[in-house]
Homo-oligomer: A and B are copies of this chain.
Amino acid sequence: MIKYAILGFGTVGRGVAEVMAGQKEKLAAAAGEALELGYILVRRDMPDSPWKDRMVRDFSVIERDPDVAVVAEVIGGVGAAYDYSRRAILAGKSVVSSNKELVATHGLELAALAKEHGVSYLFEGSVGGGIPLLRPLCRCLAANRIDEVYGILNGTTNYILTAMDEKGQDFAQALRKAQELGYAEADPTADVEGIDACRKTAILADLSFGHNLDPADIPTTGITTVAAVDLELARTLGYTVKLLGRAKRTENGCLAFVQPHLVPLSHNLASVNGVMNACAIRGSAVGEVVLCGPGAGSHPTASAVSADIADAVRHRADPVVPDMGAPGGTVAAESALVSPWYVRADAAPEAVEALFSGVKPVYSTTGECGFITGPMDRLAAEKLLAGLDGRALWRVLA
């Protein structure tokens, strides 16, 4: 019988307690021994909770208990979460986490510390929620040079874009609805500005290309400037709009960015709607695989965290620490990447065709003009666009 502790008892923490209790036998089989919830670290007493006898408010109780082999950090943020993760590792305990902010900013350091102290550090739930994603990337695709990872990595923004597409809502309406349904927070900045997707992109890049990136170096554009008319024009052109996090191996190093993209309706990612997430991985042997599922939520994220707990216990003699890449990785210039572009402008067909030969624009019900250019880099696209009254310029996923 091995004890584990849950740090934090919000949406994910509760989910972990419930999922671990619900699948006790299966998880014991996966772990190789029975698992017992030793402690839940909380900030205030919860006298009505069925788990009240496991709750503690002092992390050092957990830290000092030698029977606790694994600590699940689901607090979020980089304050207490970082401090407790470090202390747990120093105390010889494996740490599993769904905290993308912490993993993106301090994952390299915590992974090194875990290696040094002979414990596992796993964070499957930090990217893609319940989607099996990081273990497939690192283990199942171990025979591949990973060339590109890209996907829909944030459920809130995908919910909003889907609502704008399907219901013709504008951004503000769709955001309000998402907030009512609990899919967006009262302060939605981290989601709608792409910050959450940026952290996940950083983690994917760290695991894929051998270099550890600072999320602050990843150019990030959210969806606040996407207008209902863009969804309308995109659909007429045979596309939909998705916020993509992308990371790519290039000759000049690793390229990583987060931006709204036009995605062809025939592409696997185009049918990933609402709060679902999906990630494509391109590998040298496998070609491209796409993994999709619920990217957030209590039980889906707990599914990933609970599997990590079992895996950490199973590998106590042979700890698992994903390779987070060499420190100091730099991000290559996004502007140099060649792709087709979507342009929204106030322009007559003749003006468009004069600038972009052979390109036929479409028009929205409100008379705005939209078209797709041939492949070019960002500077070329911006230069051509300068000749028009351009209102939106986004990459097309090709």
Contact = CB atoms under 8 A, between A and B. Distances in A.
Interface residues of A, number: 56
Contacts of A144: 23, 26, 303
Contact of A285 (B141, B306, B317): B306
Contacts of A26: 142-145
Contacts of A130: 285-287, 289
B303 A294 contact: no
Q: Which of A141, A294, A317 gathers the greatest number of chain B CB atoms within 10 Å?
A: A141
Contact of A140 (B266, B304, B318, B323): B304
B27 A311 contact: no
Contacts of A131: 286, 289
Contacts of A273: 266
B142 A136 contact: no
B291 A143 contact: no
A204 to B, nearest CB: 15
A22 interface: yes
Given A130-B286, A291-B291, A135 B140 contact: yes
A288 interface: yes
A144 B30 CA distance: 11
A370 B227 CA distance: 39
Given A135-B136, A317-B318, A284 B143 contact: no
A191 interface: no
B323 A303 contact: no
Number of identical monomers bound together in the oligomeric complex: 2
A34 to B, nearest CB: 14
Contact of A289 (B15, B30, B292, B318): B292
A116 B384 CA distance: 69
A271 B29 CA distance: 36
B288 A293 contact: yes
Most chain B Cβ neighbours within 10 Å, of A22, A30, A135, A285: A285
A242 B314 CA distance: 39
Contacts of A22: 145, 284-285
Interface string A127-157: 0001110011001111111000000000000
A272 B270 CA distance: 12
A291 B393 CA distance: 32
A192 interface: no
Interface in A1-57: 15, 19-20, 22-23, 26-27, 29-30, 32
A302 interface: yes
A300 to B, nearest CB: 5
Contact of A300 (B286, B307, B317): B286
A310 interface: yes
Interface of A: 15, 19-20, 22-23, 26-27, 29-30, 32, 124, 130-132, 135-136, 139-145, 266-268, 270-273, 283-294, 297, 299-300, 302-304, 306-307, 310-311, 314, 317-318, 323
Given A27-B142, A291-B291, 19 more contacts: A15-B285, A23-B285, A27-B143, A124-B140, A132-B136, A132-B289, A135-B140, A136-B140, A139-B311, A140-B304, A142-B307, A266-B271, A285-B302, A286-B300, A287-B297, A287-B300, A288-B294, A292-B292, A317-B317
Those 5 A-B pairs whose CB atoms lie nearest each other, nearest first: A289-B293, A132-B140, A143-B306, A132-B136, A285-B303
